[in-house]
Amino acid sequence: MATPDPAVIAAVDLGSNTIKMTIGRCLPDGSLEEIASYSDTVRLGRDVDRTGHLADDRMDAALECLTRFSTAARNHGASRIIGVATEAVRAAANGKTFIDRVIAATGIEMEIIHGDREASLTFSGVAADHDLAGTLVIADIGGASTEVIVAVDGAITAAAYVPVGSGRLSDRHIAADPPTHEELEQARHAARLAVGGHPQLHPLPSGDAIRLVLLGGTGEYLVALLPDEANLTPTSVDDTLEVLTRIPSDVLAERLDIQALRARVLPAGVAVAAALLDLIQPGACDVGRSGIRTGLLREACVAAW
Residue 103 DSSP code: H
Residue 120 lies in a domain: no
Which CATH number do you get for residue 12?
3.30.420.40
pLDDT of residue 290: 66
Instruction: Show Cβ contacts of residue 299 under 8 Å, excluding neighbours closer than 6 positions.
Output: 121, 124
Let me know whether 166 and 218 are in one domain: yes
Which CATH number do you get for residue 165?
3.30.420.150
Let me know whether 269 and 200 are in one domain: yes
Let me know whether 111 and 155 are in one domain: no
pLDDT of residue 38: 96
pLDDT of residue 129: 80
96 is in which domain, residue-wise?
5-115+291-304
pLDDT of residue 229: 63
Which helix H or strand E contains 36, and what residues bound it?
strand 32-41
Let me know whether 140 and 282 are in one domain: yes
CB 12 within 8 A of CB 71: no
pLDDT of residue 94: 97
The answer for 47, left when phi > 0, alpha when psi is -120 to 50, beta otherwise, is left
Let me know whether 107 and 83 are in one domain: yes
The whole-angstrom separation of Cα 108 and Cα 212 is: 33
pLDDT of residue 141: 94
CB 251 within 8 A of CB 243: no
Count CB neighbours of 238 within 10 A. Answer: 15
pTM of the model as a whole: 0.88
Let me know whether 55 and 193 are in one domain: no
Q: What is the pLDDT along the chain (305 residues), one digit of tens a residue?
A: 788 888 999 999 999 989 999 999 998 887 889 999 999 999 999 999 899 999 999 999 999 999 999 999 999 999 999 999 988 899 999 999 999 999 999 999 999 998 788 888 999 989 888 889 999 999 999 998 899 999 999 999 999 989 999 999 999 999 999 999 999 999 999 999 999 999 999 899 999 999 999 998 899 999 999 987 668 899 999 999 999 999 999 999 999 999 999 999 999 999 999 999 999 999 999 998 768 999 999 888 887 65
- Give one DSSP letter per residue of 173-228, joined into a string: H--SSSPPHHHHHHHHHHHHHHHHT-GGGPSPP-STTEEEEEESHHHHHHHHHSSS
pLDDT of residue 241: 96
pLDDT of residue 302: 80
pLDDT of residue 216: 84
Q: How many domains does the chain have?
A: 2
